[in-house]
Structure 1
Amino acid sequence: MKKSREQWGTKMGFILAAIGSAVGLGNIWRFPYVAYSNGGGAFLIPYFFAIFTAGIPLLILEYGMGHKFRGSTPLTIARANKKWEWLGWWPIVSSSIILCYYSMILSWSLKYLTLSFTKGWGTDTNKYFFKDFLKLSSSPFDFGGIVIPVLIGIILIWAINWIICYKGIKSGIEKLSKIVLPILLIIMIIIVIKGVTLKGAYLGLNKLFTPNWSKVKDPKVWISAYGQVFFSLSIATGIMMTYASYLPEKTDINNSAFITAFANCGFEFLSAIGVFAIIGFMANTQGVGVDEVVSSGIGLAFIVFPKVFSVMGTWGNILGVLFFSCLFFAGLTSAVSLVEAISSSIIDKIAWERKKVVSIMCLVGVCISSVFSTKAGLYLLDIMDNFINNYGIVVVGLLEAILVGWIIKAKTIRNHTNSISYYKIGKWWDVIIKYITPTILTYMLGSSIITEISTPYGGYELSSLLTYGWSIILLGITLGVIISKKPWKEDNTYEKKEAV
Structure 2
Amino acid sequence: MSEQPATPPGTHEKREHWSGQTAFILAAIGSAVGLGNIWRFPGQAYENGGGAFMIPYVIALLTAGIPILFLENAIGHRFRGSAPLAMRRVARRAEGVGWFHVAICFVIGLYYTVIIGWAVSYFFFSFNLDYAEDPATFFARDFLQLGEPGTVSLTFVPSVLIPLVAVWVVTIVILALGLHNGVERLNVVGIPLLVVTFGILVVRALMLDGAAEGVEALFTPDFSALRDPQVWIAAYGQVFFSLSLAYGVMLTYASYRRRRSNITAPGLVVAFGNSSFEILAGVGVFATLGFLAHQQGIAVADLEGLTGVQLSFITFPTVIAQMPGGQIFGALFFGSLVVAGLTSLISVLQAVSSALQDKFGWHPRGSAVAVGIVSAVLSVIGFGTTTGLFLLDVVDQWSNQLGIVAGAVAMIAASLWFAGRSSELQRHLAAVSTLRPGRGWLILVNVVALLLLSMFVQKTTTLINDGYEGYPGWYLAVFGWGTLAFLLAAALAMPLLRWRRNIARFHVWPTRAQLGLPDHPHDEYEPEGRPR
Q: TM-score range by the shorter chain?
A: over 0.9
TM-score by length of 1: 0.97
Name the residue aligned to 1:225: 235
Are 1:306 and 2:314 matched, yes or no?
Answer: no
State the Cα distance separating 1:446 from its structure 2 match: 2.3
Query: Which 4+ residue blocks in structure 1 deviate beyond 6 angstroms?
Result: none
Q: Deviations over 1:331-388 (max 9, x none)?
A: 0000110111000000100001111111122111211111210111000100010111
Contact kept, 8 Å, 2:144 with 2:159, in 1: the verdict is no
Query: Which amino acid is 2:62 matched to?
Result: F
Aligned counterparts of 1:357 and 1:494: Cα–Cα separation in 2: 22
Aligned counterparts of 1:451 and 1:482: Cα–Cα separation in 2: 29
Query: Which amino acid is 2:436 matched to?
Result: K
Aligned counterparts of 1:441 and 1:491: Cα–Cα separation in 2: 35
Name the residue aligned to 2:299: 289
Name the residue aligned to 1:417: 429
Are 1:350 and 2:360 matched, yes or no?
Answer: yes
Are 1:145 and 2:147 matched, yes or no?
Answer: no
Give the alignment partner of residue 449 of structure 1, picking from 460, 476, 489.
Answer: 460
Are 1:408 and 2:433 matched, yes or no?
Answer: no
TM-score by length of 2: 0.91
Q: Deviations over 1:26-53 (max 9, x none)?
A: 0000000000000011101110111111
Give the alignment partner of residue 330 of structure 1, picking from 331, 340, 361.
Answer: 340
Q: Deviations over 1:120-169 (max 9, x none)?
A: 11311111101111011113323150111211111111111111111111
Q: How does 1:164-243 map to 2 (within 5 A)?
A: 164-243=174-253
Contact kept, 8 Å, 1:404 with 1:433, in 2: the verdict is no
Contact kept, 8 Å, 2:150 with 2:472, in 1: the verdict is no
Give the alignment partner of residue 58 of structure 1, picking from 52, 55, 68.
Answer: 68
Aligned counterparts of 2:191 and 2:377: Cα–Cα separation in 1: 29
Q: Alignment partner of 1:5: what SS?
A: coil
State the Cα distance separating 1:433 from its structure 2 match: 1.7
Contact kept, 8 Å, 1:101 with 1:381, in 2: the verdict is yes
Query: How many residues of Structure 1 are paired with residues of Structure 2 in the alignment?
Result: 498
Are 1:398 and 2:409 matched, yes or no?
Answer: yes
Aligned counterparts of 2:154 and 2:140: Cα–Cα separation in 1: 14
Aligned counterparts of 2:97 and 2:141: Cα–Cα separation in 1: 41
Q: Alignment partner of 2:128: what SS?
A: coil
Query: Which amino acid is 2:369 matched to?
Result: S
Aligned counterparts of 2:396 and 2:507: Cα–Cα separation in 1: 35
Contact kept, 8 Å, 2:12 with 2:507, in 1: the verdict is no
Higher helix share: 1
Unmatched 5+ stretches in structure 2: 1-10, 513-519, 521-532
RMSD: 1.4
State the Cα distance separating 1:493 from its structure 2 match: 7.7
Unmatched 5+ stretches in structure 1: none
Name the residue aligned to 1:318: 328
Aligned counterparts of 1:402 and 1:20: Cα–Cα separation in 2: 28
Aligned counterparts of 2:344 and 2:274: Cα–Cα separation in 1: 12
Q: Among the aligned pairs, what percent are the same residue?
A: 38
Contact kept, 8 Å, 2:90 with 2:421, in 1: the verdict is no
Name the residue aligned to 1:375: 386
Aligned counterparts of 1:386 and 1:36: Cα–Cα separation in 2: 21
- Structure (1 or 2) with the larger CA radius of gyration: 2
Query: Which amino acid is 2:321 matched to?
Result: S
Q: Deviations over 1:258-305 (max 9, x none)?
A: 111100000000000000000000000011121222511000000000
Aligned counterparts of 1:89 and 1:269: Cα–Cα separation in 2: 33
Query: Which amino acid is 1:143 matched to?
Result: S
State the Cα distance separating 1:494 from its structure 2 match: 6.1
Are 1:28 and 2:38 matched, yes or no?
Answer: yes
Are 1:13 and 2:38 matched, yes or no?
Answer: no
